[in-house]
Amino acid sequence: MRLESTTIRWEQDDSGIVTLVLDDPNQSANTMNQAFKDSIAAIAERVEAEKDSIRGIIYTSAKKTFFAGGDLKDMMKVGPAEAQQAFDTGTAIKSSLRRIETLGKPVVAAINGPALGGGYEIALASHHRVALDAPGSKIGLPEVTLGLLPAGGGVTRTVRLMGIADALLKVLLQGTQYSPRRALENGLVHEVAATREEMLEKARAFIDANPASQQPWDKPGYKIPGGTPSNPKFAANLPAFPANLKKQLNGAPYPAPRNILAAAVEGSQVDFETALTIEARYFTELVTGQTAKNMIQAFFFDLQAVNSGANRPKGIEPRQVRKVAVLGAGMMGAGIAYSCARAGIEVVLRDVSLEAAVKGKGYSEKLCAEAVGKGRTTQEKADALLARITPTAEAAALAGCDAVIEAVFEDPALKHKVFQEIETIVERDALLCSNTSTLPITALAEGVERQSDFIGLHFFSPVDKMPLVEIIKGKRTGEEALARAFDLVRQINKTPIVVNDSRGFFTSRVIGHFINEGVAMVGEGIEPASVEQAAAQAGYPAKVLSLMDELTLTLPRKIRNESKRAIEESGGAWTPHPAEAVIDRMVDEFGRIGRSGGAGFYEYGEDGKRGRLWPGLREHFTKPGHTIPFEDMQERMLFSEALDTVRLLEEGVLTSVADANIGSIFGIGFPGWTGGVLQYINGYADGAGLPAFVARARQLAERYGERFTPPALLVEKADNGERFTDAR
Ligand code: NAD
């Protein structure tokens, strides 16, 4: 059967240059689907047949994106049974690309837009890479961030292009996405062009100058830059790679980096074709496993759903904020001001004195200076950003603001006061947001006239780095305000999740369970160092006791007292958590409130640097020899968060699974390998899912307390054979 190319257009000019235009008619972006597999095979056949009339080949795309990569929907379905087919498809595409690469004619990739994953792999199968410096364009192999590895020749070719160490560190292990300019600096592309015409001219110029071009690795005498394990000097350094990786991962269960390392090292010692096979085997292992599915679900599908506004009220015109009032120029206010100004919004930054407001602006000055120093922005752009921030102590300066973000001290009376001062000064329909981390929004809204315009906008610290914003809808918040808050968060390039009002909302409430569980284990007499290790090996980015110290031990006490009062006032009974007694002793008996007090679960130096775990913990809490299974330690932390998330769904505080997954990973450090707090339940025990999770929760409840009893919603879903998904 003669194959036809349906997704790649063949355009040949009079001089014999063939431009292969990647242009899948059925999709908005080109992907490595079945049609592409057939198309690239047909193209390989044709270039071989018409070789004599061809002077050179240029890959480019008619889409905004050069090429999007593998089809992730397909990958979610690959189980062990489909693995062989996936393997064969991958092998077929690679062999077609290889036939074109080794034709003996120059092959150039004219990268007109984002080329990530499969897109960059096509570029790597070209002898020369010219990237168009299009805004927002990204180049790299981010597969590792989805729990995969680049198996379209990505490992094999980057190792041969830049050597094992650079391939691992610059491209494969972090999955860094480079702008075209940075891709050039790091050796991922050869040239950058300012316009599409210039890009194609450069591509043609390469073909003119290199009529018989070959890949470096196909030339006689080629050696992998920097050496391979067969070189004794290199071999001596080799153990450092797994050791560093182990240190980086801190024992967390991410299989992709390990497989990438193995594929790179093993592939460097064999011929090109065998290296491709090794790479594919390691990929198959990943794609059939649960972690890749979890990570694709969260970092691709859920993130896309959340950012594209699946939770934004429908039918409300999008609006952009022009001028925002930030009230309070402390740690959060200063960071919020920077993030808004960076997105092009005018900012009026107000504090009690001009001096305090100027100090808050100083934070932006510091970040701008750093960014200019590192070449991430230009002096001109930094100056423009800073010119957009006006520090002030005067309420009158807020005239004309169409949004307000309040970030003064966590005191309801003060928050009421600062809104009252400015409500009649800002635009009449200005969006009114509070960055409270714990106070119920409905009660705060009572301090303003226009309660329907009042909403919670919970940022995370440090604001300039943390991508998440939790939007909290109060009882009287209008749909219009919700839509506008959503638009504002997107305008400043952050990821919005939406929750209904409740004490601690979603993130603050759920992270409290993680901390409580860690602290409770110390109270039971388990070695504090083991507790810390369990958190690290579960994949939490911060160890549990060190996080408690950062947040300050008096904070959970304050929250507990407020919650207790609220529950008791409404006729309920407070169920104490075993962590409470430990925290009380730490604060009252030992005066250790955490890092801000210079002493907590850890010791701190004069400079505030964290030292060792406080030896007093062993003396006052640890029962020598007492331990519990390590897996129980990890799962107590993970389960405590997951179970309360289900309760939040039951209570209607959370309304979306995607929001829960994304909020847990980006807001409170729930381990990324799980795919988020509800995907963790879906994928529990290698995909056994809800029934296995319920059984294990019951076991933990028996061993460690009723707080692990699975909520009714979870049991019901498990019984019905359901999973946590959003109906979309
Ligand atoms: P902060 O103490 O660093 O800053 C508060 C600022 O508010 C100070 O600069 C203070 O001078 C100013 N202020 C006080 N009264 C004012 C008034 N009448 N008008 C204008 N400014 C006034 O506190 P922060 O850590 O930035 O927290 C601010 C808010 O953000 C709190 O509600 C907090 O709960 C919340 N929050 C904090 C974090 C965090 O990690 N720190 C995270 C999320 C939310």
The DSSP-derived string for 527-566 is -HHHHHHHHHHHT-SS-HHHHHHHH-THHHHHHHHHHHHH
329 lines ligand 1 (CB under 6 A): yes
Structure tokens at 249: 């991962």
Quote the pTM value. 0.93
Structure tokens at 677: 């707090």
Q: What is the pLDDT of residue 74?
A: 82
pLDDT tens track for 443-471: 999 999 999 999 999 999 999 999 999 99
Measured between alpha carbons, how far is 568 from 578 in angstroms, rounded to an integer? 19
107-111 and 128-132 beta bridge pairing: parallel
Q: Is 178 left (phi over 0), alpha (psi -120 to 50) or beta?
A: beta
Instruction: Single out the residue of 639, 660, 706, 643 nearest to residue 505, CA to CA.
Output: 660
pLDDT tens track for 542-568: 999 999 999 999 998 988 898 899 889
Q: What are phi and psi of 403, to 5 degrees?
A: -155, 150
Instruction: Single out the residue of 590, 674, 594, 589 nearest to residue 638, CA to CA.
Output: 674
Q: What is the pLDDT of residue 239?
A: 79
Cα 346 to Cα 328, 419, 468, 639, 649, distances in angstroms: 16, 19, 21, 43, 37
Q: Which amino acid is at 622?
A: T
Q: Which among 408, 468, 472 is the best mutation to test ligand 1's pocket, defined by most ligand atoms within 8 Å of the CB?
A: 408
Instruction: Single out the residue of 42, 26, 53, 21 nearest to residue 96, CA to CA.
Output: 42
Measured between alpha carbons, how far is 597 from 284 in angstroms, rounded to an integer? 51
ipTM of the complex: 0.98
Measured between alpha carbons, how far is 513 from 256 in angstroms, rounded to an integer? 29
Measured between alpha carbons, how far is 280 from 156 in angstroms, rounded to an integer? 10
Structure tokens at 168: 């691992």
* Residue 37 DSSP SS3: helix
Q: What is the pLDDT of residue 242?
A: 81
410 lines ligand 1 (CB under 6 A): yes
470 lines ligand 1 (CB under 6 A): no
325 lines ligand 1 (CB under 6 A): no
Q: Which amino acid is at 82?
A: E
Distance 328 CA to ligand 1 centre (A): 6
Distance 487 CA to ligand 1 centre (A): 24
Measured distance between the N- and C-terminal CA atoms of the chain, rounded to whole angstroms: 40
436 lines ligand 1 (CB under 6 A): yes
Q: What are phi and psi of 408, to 5 degrees?
A: -85, -175
Q: What is the residue with the minimal CA distance to atom 31 of ligand 1?
A: 410
3-state secondary structure labels for all residues of 488-510: HHHHCCCEEEEEECCCCCCHHHH
Distance 89 CA to ligand 1 centre (A): 55
418 lines ligand 1 (CB under 6 A): yes
Give burial (CB, 10 Å; 0-12/13-18/19+) of 702. exposed
Structure tokens at 229: 């394990």
CB 483 within 8 A of CB 458: no
* Residue 237 DSSP SS3: helix
354 lines ligand 1 (CB under 6 A): no
Q: Which atom of ligand 1 is nearest to the CA of 350?
A: 20
Other CB atoms within a 10 A radius of the CB of residue 332 amount to: 23
Q: What is the pLDDT of residue 240?
A: 82
Distance 484 CA to ligand 1 centre (A): 23
Distance 591 CA to ligand 1 centre (A): 25
Q: Which atom of ligand 1 is nearest to the CA of 417?
A: 18
444 lines ligand 1 (CB under 6 A): no
* Residue 204 DSSP SS3: helix
356 lines ligand 1 (CB under 6 A): yes
Q: What is the pLDDT of residue 70?
A: 80
Q: What is the pLDDT of residue 1?
A: 53
Measured between alpha carbons, how far is 87 from 152 in angstroms, rounded to an integer? 11
Other CB atoms within a 10 A radius of the CB of residue 605 amount to: 9
Positions in the chain short of pLDDT 70: 1-2, 728
461 lines ligand 1 (CB under 6 A): yes
* Residue 249 DSSP SS3: helix
Distance 481 CA to ligand 1 centre (A): 23
Q: What is the pLDDT of residue 566?
A: 87
CB 297 within 8 A of CB 76: yes
408 lines ligand 1 (CB under 6 A): yes
Measured between alpha carbons, how far is 464 from 100 in angstroms, rounded to an integer? 45
Q: Which among 327, 338, 351, 392 is the best mutation to test ligand 1's pocket, defined by most ligand atoms within 8 Å of the CB?
A: 351
Q: What is the pLDDT of residue 237?
A: 79
456 lines ligand 1 (CB under 6 A): no
Measured between alpha carbons, how far is 581 from 553 in angstroms, rounded to an integer? 12
Instruction: Single out the residue of 30, 224, 38 nearest to residue 121, CA to CA.
Output: 30
116-145 burial, b at 16+ Cβ within 10 Å, e below that, comes to bbbbbbbbbbbbbbbbbbbeebbbbbbbbb
**59 forms bridges with which residues in the sheet?**
20, 109
435 lines ligand 1 (CB under 6 A): yes
Q: What is the pLDDT of residue 75?
A: 84
